[in-house]
Homo-oligomer: A and B are copies of this chain.
Amino acid sequence: MALAKPTPSSLSELEFISRRLEEDIALGRILPRERLIEEELADRFKVNRHVIRQVLSDLEGIGIIVRQRNKGATVRDLTPVDVENIYSVRELLEGKAAEMIKLPPDPAVLAELKDIHRRHSAAAASGNFTDVFRLNLLFHKTFFAACGNPQLAEAIQNFALKAHIARSLTISDPALLKRAVGEHGQMIQLMEAGDRKRFVKMVVDHIIPSKDAYMENYRRRFGMAKP
């Protein structure tokens, strides 16, 4: 998992840096409202400032950073209302995808999911949050790709990324992590069992704890008042 800069050409270089920044944001290494300064990033990734510029533009398109003309980029600061809205769409999209996934699933897909799940569990057990993050992403990507509609899968991916900003402050909570890993295991079991109804419910419910954690964390920081 520890990748060095693999890139001969820079189309993948953009991807690499984007992923890395998404990761930093999701893991709370860069916090909401924090500034992202082009030259600093250029130095850090040993790359021309223009590459960073492009990356920031992409991240803005995805919706995880905000840019103001002549003022630079900051990590987007989601309000509870934003978070509710994002999770509401996620529920819709992921529920639909869960209804579309063939049950029982394609053996190759199932095997891949099991493998990722195994590695994800291991990373969680050893407290390697970076790997946990990547493998969680990979699990969901592989999982939803199985719905057969790449457009839908991509939209799910995009909204999951947005939600990651909201999760950044609570993502390293061991209890949440343990629960998520367990739920992945259950999802696999329900797939094999071919129990559509419980499977769909499991998928939809799976995203709730992280939202709740955000909300609780927010209340703890700002009080009960709904602004």
- Which of A's residues lie within 8 Å of B, judged by CB? 9, 11, 54, 57-58, 61, 69, 82, 85-86, 88-89, 92-93, 96, 149-152, 155, 159, 162
Contacts and interface: CB of A to CB of B under 8 A. Distances in A.
B96 A92 contact: yes
A69 B149 contact: no
18 contacts: A54-B57, A58-B61, A61-B61, A82-B151, A85-B149, A85-B150, A85-B152, A86-B151, A88-B151, A88-B152, A89-B93, A89-B152, A92-B92, A92-B96, A92-B152, A151-B159, A151-B162, A155-B155
Contacts of A150: 85
Given A57-B54, A61-B61, A155 B96 contact: no
A222 to B, nearest CB: 21
A198 to B, nearest CB: 22
Counting chain B CB atoms within 10 Å of each CB, the highest count among A69, A82, A151 belongs to A151
Nearest to A14: B57
A166 to B, nearest CB: 12
Contacts of A159: 151, 155
Given A11-B69, A58-B57, A92 B93 contact: yes
Given A151-B159, A151-B162, 17 more contacts: A9-B69, A11-B69, A54-B57, A57-B57, A58-B61, A86-B151, A88-B149, A88-B151, A88-B152, A89-B93, A89-B149, A89-B151, A89-B155, A92-B93, A92-B96, A155-B155, A155-B159
Contacts of A88: 149, 151-152
Contacts of A93: 89, 92
Given A9-B69, A57-B57, A151 B96 contact: no
Nearest to A154: B63
A20 to B, nearest CB: 18
A181 B115 CA distance: 52
